[in-house]
Amino acid sequence: GAVVSQHPSRVICKSGTSVKIECRSLDFQATTMFWYRQFPKQSLMLMATSNEGSKATYEQGVEKDKFLINHASLTLSTLTVTSAHPEDSSFYICSARTGTSDTQYFGPGTRLTVL
Amino acid sequence: AQKVTQAQTEISVVEKEDVTLDCVYETRDTTYYLFWYKQPPSGELVFLIRRNSFDEQNEISGRYSWNFQKSTSSFNFTITASQVVDSAVYFCALITNAGKSTFGDGTTLTVKP
């Protein structure tokens, strides 16, 4: 149980384009989903927390207009990197949590490369 | 402010050796949760264990064991009889009751045959 999927697993795009990453909880309802960013050989940095049906809460230093997060249902959250630039290249990981447990279950991650 | 420190950046052992990964945390919250996750080369984070701040009972799961010492704010992880498949980056994480998460920098464990 507690499986989280991400799509796509890998994406390469040109600078200036927008990329959407999906995060789905497959066998449970996720009232809260989290988006993290991980640079090579570094730890996970929390970007934002999203609760179903409400606006995401962004961490300090994360541009909300650049990283658009939508949590429209209890099983789906999306992260859109708008007008991507090479410095946005990173490993993006989502996690999901049920309302009754504080364990975060992580998706497999999406590796974004912006050329 | 909260902080998680994994002082060991890299550890290398030979198969069948025991190895302990250290984790020390700081938080002002009285209710919090501690986690260990494994990140193999594939990148996916695998949940290993969750402990809440009121439960200091140590836990053993197969070759894995965890030692939670609230007095020293430590939550150490021991792998007994390590195997090559244990090679990965291991993260310790602290999550408060409000949901704020902080990850350590990770410890890269290499188990050589």
Residues A79-93 have pLDDT tens digits of: 999 999 999 999 999
CA A53, chain centre distance (Å): 16
CB contact under 8 A, B101 and A46: yes
- The region of weakest confidence among A33-37, A96-100, B100-104 is A96-100
Residue A65 has pLDDT above 80, yes or no: yes
pLDDT of A103 higher than 70: yes
Residues of chain A in contact with residue B99, where contact means CB-CB under 8 angstroms, are 32, 49, 97, 102
Q: What is the pLDDT averaged over residues A16-25?
A: 96
Please answer whether residues A71 and A33 qualify as being in contact, where contact means their C-beta atoms are separated by less than 8 angstroms.
Answer: yes
Residue B21, classified by CB atoms within 10 Å of its CB into exposed (0-12), middle (13-18) or buried (19+), is buried
Task: Give the separation between CA B99 and CA A57, rounded to whole angstroms.
Answer: 12
Say which amino acid occupies A56: A
Closest-CA residue of chain B to A103? B50
Q: What type of residue is A74? A: L
A106 phi, psi to nearest 5 deg: -100, 145
| A104: nearest CB among B46, B101, B106 | B101
The tens place of each residue's pLDDT in chain B, 113 residues long, gives 799 999 999 999 999 999 999 999 999 988 899 999 999 988 888 989 989 898 888 888 899 999 999 999 999 999 999 999 999 999 999 988 777 789 999 999 999 99
Q: Determine contact: B74 vs chain A, CB below 8 A.
A: no
The answer to whether the CB atoms of A106 and B105 lie below 8 A apart is no
- With beta carbons under 8 A apart, name residues in chain A contacting B104: 43
E-assigned strand segments in chain B: 3-5, 10-14, 19-21, 24-26, 32-39, 46-52, 59-61, 64-69, 74-79, 88-96, 101-103, 107-112
Which of A46, A104, A108 is facing B44, going by the closest CB pair?
A: A108
**CA distance to partner chain A, nearest, from residue B53 (Å):** 12
B100 chain-A contacts, CB cut-off 8 A:
46
How many CB pairs below 8 Å do chains A and B form together?
48
pLDDT of residue A101: 62
